[in-house]
Amino acid sequence: MIGDVLEFIRDRLDEYLISLSTDTPGSVMERKVCFLELDQSTEHVNFKLNCISIVLLNIEEERIIRNPDPYRRGFGTGDVSGVTPEVNLNLHCLFVARFKDYKQGVQNLSHIIKYFQTHRYFDEIAAPQLAGIAHPFTIELISLTFSELNEIWGGFRSALLPCIAYRIRTFLILDDDSTQLDLRATSTIEIALGRQS
């Protein structure tokens, strides 16, 4: 699921940047947005030249909107069944511009900021290809401090490149195959812990 969402964002940005390109019509267009590459021999990150690389920096749980109730009441019947609550995630992504022409790289980052300024919310209506892949999510800009940038680029073991960070907010994961909990097992555990009602 996470990979599908990142791939969706990559393709959307790629289409947008290609539409703004000044290359001659009919010429073979190389991808403008790509994923980070890893050199298997040296285990160093490799930012592709003349491309915006997407890096997933962090995955965090959104605890504020987490549903603490592991039970669901059936509508009309009143039956109570145990469920595993969904997991709401925030994905922190870095967009890194490595271009031979420094100005071109910064310009592409400006275009990404413009794109997300007008496309902050994604759902199945705005993006039908998200149907069955992801629930609605928003994208917001993150302002990184100089110390955070220093830690990030120190981890990459790379020279500082122009970059911007975004948060993909409240990305939801729900395992439909394991939503139903066994209430008998739950009751047995509670009895063993001395929580018998």
Q: What pLDDT is stored for residue 63 in this prediction?
A: 74
Q: In this predicted structure, which of 13-17, 176-180, 185-189 has the lowest mean pLDDT?
A: 185-189
- Compute the average pLDDT of residues 130-152: 88
- Mean pLDDT for the chain overall: 79
pLDDT tier, 68 (very low <50, low <70, confident <90, very high otherwise) = low
Q: What pLDDT is stored for residue 169 in this prediction?
A: 86
Q: What is the DSSP string of the chain?
A: -HHHHHHHHHHHHHHHHHHT--SPTTSPPPPSEEE-EEETTTTEEEPPTTEEEEEEEEEEE--TT-----EEEPTTT--EEEEPPPEEEEEEEEEEEE-SSHHHHHHHHHHHHHHHHH--EE-TTT-GGGTTT---EEEEEE---HHHHHHHHHHHTS----EEEEEEEEEEE--GGG-EE-HHHHHHHHHHTT---
Residue 196, pLDDT above cutoff 60:
no
Q: Tell me: the pLDDT tens digits for 4-63?
A: 889 999 999 999 999 988 765 555 578 899 998 776 666 778 899 999 999 999 999 877
pLDDT tier, 157 (very low <50, low <70, confident <90, very high otherwise) = confident
More confident residue, 144 or 37: 144
Q: What pLDDT is stored for residue 192 in this prediction?
A: 41
Q: What pLDDT is stored for residue 182 in this prediction?
A: 45
Q: Tell me: the pLDDT tens digits for 75-114?
A: 556 666 666 667 788 999 999 999 999 999 999 999 999 9
